[in-house]
Amino acid sequence: MTAAWIALVVPWAAGIVALVLDGRRRAVGWAAVAGLAVNFVALVVLAVGVIDDGPRSVTTGDWPAGVGITLRADALGVLFAALSSLTLLAATSHELADGIRERSFPGLVLLLATGLTGVFVTGDLFNFYVFFELSMTAAYVLATYGGGRRELGAALVFTTANLLGTFVFLLSVAGLYHVTGTLDMTRIADRMAVVEPSTALLIAVGFFVAFSVKLGLFPFHFWLPTVYTGAGPAVAAILSGGLANIGSYGLLRFGGEMLPRELEFAAVPLMVIGCASIIYGGILAVSRRTASEMLAYSAIGQVGYVLVAIGVGGAVGFAAAILYAVVNALNKTLMFLTLRMRGALVAGAFVIGALSVAGVPPAAGFVGKLELFHATAGDPALIVLIFLGGALSFVYVFQVYQFEFWRTAPSGPRSGRPQQAIVGALALLTLSVGLWPEPLLALSRDAAAVLGAVGG
Amino acid sequence: MTLVFALAASALFGTGAYLVLNRDLVRVVLGVVVISQASVLTLIASGLVRGQAPIDPEPGLPVADPLSEAMALTAIVIGLAVTALLLTLVLRVVDAYRVRDLGEVSDEEAEQDERLERAEAAEHDAEEAAAR
């Protein structure tokens, strides 16, 4: 667990120092990237350890078990933690290569990394809320990055909508503590079996609403388009590739592990909401002409697939949901970062991202779609809907490709080599996941097994 | 007792929701504050035992659940921080837009979006014509 401590403490300390310093200076920016790199490497080391030797947990402050706050690292948590950390690292280096425009940016990203790491490795319900709030608060300020009127308006909507989601989450935390008498996630999962079903369902609905607001699922998406189009590329990548992972992880952890019976009970409504999200996001994305708006609506559609897979449930469904959430975060990071860039590599990177969103081989999205079809094999209606969603996404990504790269003559200076290198590396990663999917497939099955072991 | 807590929390949540739906930005912030109080109250109410304060209790008497009080304290502190943040954000929005009414902010934004859309549509049509 030393790796987990390093992953938490280094970005936290670096973030506090960086907030005091002027983040526009390149040295501070580089220090932030170094801090994020330490966080990422520590998480990868932790992930390798966890996958080889099984989950680990530690009670903080040498308290007896059951009293102190537990940190625990299992395959599901470390996978999402490493993914979010990678997204933050890529987006921050991308922004640094262009020149950071606000003094608080590096510090905020580091604190966001701390919060996200904490959310994914904590085993305590209330501690989850604290880390969750830490990452959200950093994200509220990050949404104003750029400081223009558009960003400020978007940040206000983002903050208000997500704060309401957070308070609904807190209400459910209070409910869960009252009915189970513990805050330890593993014990809650054990004790939920004897809780009265109607109470448990009410608590589960609260958690579902809270995480859906974070993810931007169909009826809770109202804040998302404004924010993703208003924020700059780096911030949009951080929000959709890093922060939104809390939503997918939360739905899996709370639904799959702590409230499995309620999840099973609500399977059909979940699938309906997921399908509504897919179709709504797809149709609106087709009607958009600019890349940022298209990506914002595409984000609403893509998370629908994750929800459908969670609704299907079981080892296969959860594995598909985890895999799709990972692939989707990679796609969104890659595509948001290619916005407003010019250069030879950029169009290529955009095409790989576009193929991945549409689910066409050889990009990573294909593996995600394949697993989804595998999970929904028994249900023709779902397969038709997923296929329809895929067709819509094919139309909207290539429509935008046409507008951005074929029709308009390239304007403005070419983007610098470092930025192109980052985008190129992300595109290569997306491509290699598509060409050699076994490691990620095995990882997502391991992560799904964590849920099955406790919840089933 | 639980019923009193539940009624109070739901009244607070309702009041807060009404305020959040208001067009005045300051009232939106107040609404968020009131809703945060509803969740703090629920956290207090979720305590499993009631009794005297857990700091330096007299022996023999029941002690209130310290865990729910610790959670409520943390939630109050975090609530304070996000309220300050939200107020700063509102101040910057008021500064940038010179209005404090959400309706006017969104009107301005819609107007700007429409202008952008029109410009892009014109550009698109010109390209179509050129392509033909």
- Structural domain contains residue A154: no
Contact A170 B20 (CB under 8 A): no
Q: Do residues A188 and A125 touch, judged by C-beta distance below 8 A? A: yes
Q: How many CA atoms lie within 13 A of B109 on its CB side?
A: 24
- Structural domain contains residue A24: yes
Q: Do residues A149 and A96 touch, judged by C-beta distance below 8 A? A: no
- Chain A residues touching residue B43 (CB < 8 angstroms): 170, 173-174
Provide the residue-wise pLDDT of chain A in tens; the chain has 456 residues: 788 889 999 999 999 999 999 888 889 999 999 999 999 999 999 999 998 888 888 888 778 777 778 888 889 999 999 999 999 999 999 999 888 888 899 999 999 999 999 999 998 999 999 999 999 999 999 999 887 888 888 888 899 999 999 999 999 999 999 999 888 888 888 888 888 888 899 999 999 999 999 888 888 888 888 888 888 889 999 999 999 999 999 999 999 888 888 888 899 999 999 999 999 999 999 988 788 889 999 999 999 999 999 998 888 899 999 999 999 999 999 999 988 887 778 888 988 999 999 888 888 889 988 888 888 888 888 889 888 999 999 999 888 888 777 766 666 667 788 888 999 999 999 999 999 989 899 999 888 888 875 433
Q: Do residues A376 and A386 touch, judged by C-beta distance below 8 A? A: yes
Domain count, chain A: 1
Of A133, A164, A289, the CB nearest to B35: A164
- Chain B residues touching residue A150 (CB < 8 angstroms): 109, 112
Chain A residues in contact with chain B using a Cβ-Cβ cutoff of 8 Å: 126, 130, 133, 137, 140-141, 144, 148-150, 152-153, 155-156, 159-160, 163-164, 167, 170-171, 173-175, 177-178, 181, 183, 226, 289-290, 403, 407-408
- Structural domain contains residue A290: no
Calculated CA dihedral for residues A441, A442, A444, A446, nearest 10 degrees: 170
Contact A170 B93 (CB under 8 A): no
Q: Is B2-100 CATH 1.10.3470? A: no
> How many C-beta atoms surround the C-beta of residue A302 within 10 A?
31
ipTM for the complex shown: 0.86
- Chain B residues touching residue A167 (CB < 8 angstroms): 35-36, 38-39
- Burial environment of residue B48 by CB neighbours within 10 A (0 to 12, 13 to 18, 19 or more): exposed
Size of interface A-B (CB pairs under 8 A): 92
- Structural domain contains residue A196: no
Per domain, the residue ranges of chain B are 2-100, 102-132
Q: A9 is in which domain, residue-wise?
A: 1-142
Contact B48 A141 (CB under 8 A): no
SS3 content of chain A, % helix, strand, coil (to 5): 80, 0, 15
* Partner A contacted by B87 (CB < 8 A): no
Contact A153 B67 (CB under 8 A): no
Q: How far is A436 from chain B (nearest CA, A)?
A: 40
* Partner A contacted by B42 (CB < 8 A): yes
Of B82, B97, B109, the CB nearest to A163: B82
Contact B67 A183 (CB under 8 A): yes
**Rounded distance between C-alpha atoms, residue A167 and residue B46, angstroms:** 15
- Structural domain contains residue A116: yes
Contact A178 B93 (CB under 8 A): no
**Nearest residue of A to residue B90, measured between CA atoms:** A156
H runs (alpha helix) in A181-266 = 185-191, 197-215, 224-230, 233-237, 245-250, 260-265
